[in-house]
């Protein structure tokens, strides 16, 4: 005994020379005329009481059909081709039906063409009918189909079927519709990329730097239209190079020591990379033109935030991070590179801030490479008055400790937000600051705009480190590595003595920048 999809059957197992398998002895309902759904989906009841698939369909389970069980219905011979309302299917007319299939859905279409179009645009629509009563649509399956005979009036429905030819053609059209624009777009992008590579072709130098033509940099800066700043060295313009990457393009002025500064920048930044050193992307040396291409630092130089009105006020925590970061950059130059590199012009104007206020040392035009044995030393005056170590003035050999002195002055300016020179009643602010540090009154040195919002212990350490860095004799100054460890709190900082030669440094007059042979 078997109950299957609403039909009860009595089966017998047969195993002989001609047949092996289950054979039906009795079933109920025994005829499609007894049960409306006896024949299953897309199968119609014939006048003989048996089931037959409609045109374009075949039994879903032939074995069940051979046993006289038709409720599994029929399936399409050619699958429907419809996706997202786009279809290449067609319709075949069934005009010999007795009555309509079960569950029709009435729609508002007023013509047979509109009724067909509505069904075709809905992938789950399997048939439609249009007569005087209007448009009817069937979804998913057709059930309760009965073929009529010659003695009764026949009803008509249009049955959805797939088509090999149309399906293939439609598939090709669909693929071309999707792939075509992509292929065209890729070709256009390849052409643009090829043209761009030709127009912006660069030659790599030592695996680090790119050589640009003047025309490329003129195009990158839109004819040098967006000027970021100007100084004694030349002008800086904002530009965009391949990537796209925002860059700062420095065009050096034509003067006697321009080529020396140009070579110093290329030789120094072209060989090193550090998170606290501005990155040099490339350069242009074409005829008399000398240009340098750096990473773009959106927030400009430190001096604009310390000394200019209307700029954002740097918090104490940020000032301390800047001091430590600049110290690490100098420590890298002095102690970690193959050759000891002296920057020679550390000042707020040469400390740049990116969009996130990350800080980097810039402008290596006066930098000098020294051997690790310090067998060579500088005697050429270079730098900015107010940040120069005493040995520059006294004509003594210059070592990396000259950068330490400049760092100490910058650290005091970071703390106070005041220029070291020409500052109100204090002609040379570091002298005043050193005295206050020895008195234990460091809060009076903190930038008034911070309104006392700073860590007093960190402030005291920073002031002591600054005063150690500006000692007269370089022997008494810490290395940059030691200064960083002091600022980070890794080692204790003793109270420094007050230097005695500040006034002598100022005897040369107003602040200015020098790079001349002595």
Binding residues for ATP: 250
Pairing of strands 234-241, 125-131: unpaired
CA 385 to mean position of chain CA atoms: 43
On whether the CB atoms of residues 253 and 182 are closer than 8 A, the answer is: no
Report the 10 Å Cβ neighbour count for 308.
10
Give the Å distances, CA to CA, from 24 to 1, 193, 480.
10, 74, 99
Distance CA 335, CA 229 (A): 32
* Nearest CA-CA partner of 64 in 55, 56, 75: 75
Structure tokens at 38: 């006896």
Helices (H), 278-342: 302-307, 316-331
DSSP 8-state secondary structure symbol assigned to residue 160: E
On whether the CB atoms of residues 363 and 350 are closer than 8 A, the answer is: yes
Catalytic residue of the set 81, 89, 345, 403: 345
Q: Is 345 a catalytic residue?
A: yes
Radius of gyration of the chain (CA): 44
Annotated binding site: 250
Task: Please list, in sequence order, all residues whose beta carbon lies within 8 angstroms of the beta carbon of residue 151, skipping any fewer than 6 positions away.
Answer: none
Strand partners, 134: 131
Please provide the DSSP assignment of 360-389 as one string: EE---TT-EEE-TT--S-B-SEEEETTS--
Task: Please list, in sequence order, all residues whose beta carbon lies within 8 angstroms of the beta carbon of residue 373, skipping any fewer than 6 positions away.
Answer: none
Catalytic residues, which ones?
345
């Amino acid at each position: 005994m078997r109950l299957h999809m609403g039909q009860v059957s009595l089966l017998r197992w047969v195993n002989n020379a001609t047949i092996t398998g289950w054979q039906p002895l009795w079933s109920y309902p025994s005829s499609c005329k007894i049960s409306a759904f006896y024949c299953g989906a897309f199968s119609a009841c014939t006048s003989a009481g048996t089931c037959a698939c409609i045109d374009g369909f075949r039994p879903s389970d032939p074995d069940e059909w051979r046993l006289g069980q038709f409720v599994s219905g029929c399936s399409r011979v050619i699958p429907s081709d419809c996706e997202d309302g786009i279809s290449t299917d067609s319709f075949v007319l069934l005009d010999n039906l007795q009555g309509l299939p079960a569950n029709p859905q009435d729609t508002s279409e007023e013509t047979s063409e509109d009724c067909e179009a509505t069904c075709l645009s809905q992938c789950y629509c399997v048939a439609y009918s249009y007569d005087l009563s209007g448009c009817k649509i069937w979804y998913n399956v057709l059930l309760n189909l009965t073929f009529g005979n010659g003695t009764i009036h026949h009803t008509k429905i249009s049955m959805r079927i797939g088509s090999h030819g149309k399906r293939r053609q439609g598939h090709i059209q669909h693929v071309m519709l999707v792939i075509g624009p992509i292929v065209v777009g890729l070709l256009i992008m390849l052409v643009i990329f090829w043209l761009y590579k030709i127009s912006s072709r660069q030659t790599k130098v030592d695996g680090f730097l790119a050589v640009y033509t003047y025309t490329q940099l003129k195009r990158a800066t839109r004819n040098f239209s967006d000027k970021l700043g100007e100084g004694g060295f030349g002008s800086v313009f904002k530009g965009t190079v391949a990537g796209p990457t925002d860059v700062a393009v420095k065009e050096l002025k034509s003067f006697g020591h321009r080529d020396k500064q140009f070579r110093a920048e290329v030789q120094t930044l072209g060989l090193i990379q550090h998170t606290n050193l501005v990155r040099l992307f490339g350069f242009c040396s074409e005829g008399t033109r000398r240009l340098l291409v750096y990473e773009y630092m959106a927030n400009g130089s430190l001096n604009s935030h310390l000394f200019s009105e209307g700029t954002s006020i740097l918090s104490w925590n940020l000032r301390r991070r800047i001091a430590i970061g600049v110290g690490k950059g100098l420590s890298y130059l002095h102690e970690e590179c193959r050759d000891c590199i002296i920057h020679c012009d550390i000042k707020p104007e040469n400390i740049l801030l990116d969009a996130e206020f990350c800080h980097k040392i810039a402008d290596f035009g006066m930098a000098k490479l020294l051997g690790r044995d310090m067998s060579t030393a500088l005697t050429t005056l270079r730098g900015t008055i107010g940040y120069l170590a005493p040995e520059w003035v006294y004509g003594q050999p210059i070592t990396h400790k000259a950068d330490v002195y400049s760092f100490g002055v910058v650290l005091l300016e970071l703390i106070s937000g005041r220029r070291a020179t020409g500052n109100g009643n204090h002609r040379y602010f570091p002298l005043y600051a050193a005295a206050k540090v020895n008195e234990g009154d460091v809060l009076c040195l903190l930038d008034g705009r911070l309104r006392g919002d700073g860590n007093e212990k960190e402030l005291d350490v920073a002031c002591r480190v600054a005063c150690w860095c500006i000692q007269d004799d370089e022997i008494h100054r810490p290395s940059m590595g030691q200064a960083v460890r002091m600022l980070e709190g890794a080692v204790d900082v003793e109270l420094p003595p007050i230097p005695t030669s500040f006034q002598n440094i100022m005897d040369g007059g107003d602040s200015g920048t020098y790079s001349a042979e002595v």
